[in-house]
A and B are shown apart, each in its own frame.
Chain A
């Protein structure tokens, strides 16, 4: 079945530094990838939608200059949290939608802790 690999699974970084999270579709091509954020004991909140070769679409309230998304190929999307601060600490999850077929496949998530 369709598999999405997300890396790293956890990361600790210092305040002010940037962190890059990768999301790869391993056995299918994904024209669209999604980035979600999940706070403890809360639901997944859609941050942005990225389409291969074009600019990402951000949800209201999500700073596009802080959360840089690149979807350079049909199998890879990256989320870079720039100048991270403790309030950016969260669980980030990516999801991919195949170019052919239906459904959303989720990555295993990345736990970001900013100290």
Chain B
């Protein structure tokens, strides 16, 4: 069975500080990993996926197969980054996503 673990329910950092949201996964094959963000009162939006290896809004995430991790990082947090962040996995032929429980990121001024 596949599983996504986000150990932190809540993460609070000051503006300008580095941010790291942790995500670990369990899957026997080669997964596709995603980060989704949900701003207050808005729908889930794709932030980035490991295949594209891109940086969106200053966020990056590297897939570490050895550690089965896909942590989300940003060197300097901004107040507008405050939101719920969900790590998600798509495995094998299955099309649906398996989500972690989410981390509520709060950026303090």
Contacts and interface: CB of A to CB of B under 8 A. Distances in A.
Contacts of A46: 96-98
B96 A49 contact: yes
Chain A's interface size range is 20 to 34
B56 interface: no
Interface string A10-47: 00000000000000000000001010100001111110
Contacts of B102: 43
A34 B96 contact: yes
Interface of B: 4, 9, 36, 42-46, 86, 94-102
Nearest to B96: A46
B31 to A, nearest CB: 15
24 contacts: A32-B95, A34-B97, A36-B99, A42-B101, A43-B4, A43-B86, A43-B99, A43-B100, A43-B101, A44-B44, A45-B99, A46-B96, A46-B97, A49-B95, A49-B96, A59-B96, A93-B43, A95-B44, A95-B97, A106-B36, A106-B44, A107-B43, A108-B43, A109-B43
A71 interface: no
Contact of B46 (A49, A104, A107, A108): A104
A101 interface: no
Given A32-B95, A93-B43, A108-B42, 11 more contacts: A36-B99, A43-B4, A44-B86, A44-B97, A44-B99, A46-B97, A46-B98, A49-B96, A97-B95, A106-B36, A106-B44
Interface string A95-115: 101000001101111000000
Interface of A: 32, 34, 36, 41-46, 49, 59, 93, 95, 97, 103-104, 106-109
Nearest to B52: A102
A38 to B, nearest CB: 9
Contacts of B4: 43
